Amino acid sequence: MAFIRKFPTASGATGVQVCWKKNGELVKTIHVGSANSELALNKLLKKAQKIIDEGKRPLFDLDEFNGSLSGKDSKK
17-44: pLDDT as tens digits: 999 999 999 999 999 999 999 999 999 9
CA–CA separation, 12 and 17 (whole Å): 16
How many other C-beta atoms lie within 10 A of the C-beta of residue 18?
19
CA–CA separation, 67 and 16 (whole Å): 39
What pLDDT is stored for residue 14 in this prediction? 98
Q: Does any domain span residue 36?
A: yes
Number of folded domains that form the chain: 1
What pLDDT is stored for residue 45 in this prediction? 97
- When pLDDT is cut at 50, 70 and 90, the band that residue 57 belongs to is confident
Q: Does any domain span residue 42?
A: yes
Boundaries of domain holding 44: 2-56
- pTM for this structure? 0.71
What percent of the chain has a predicted confidence (pLDDT) above 90? 68
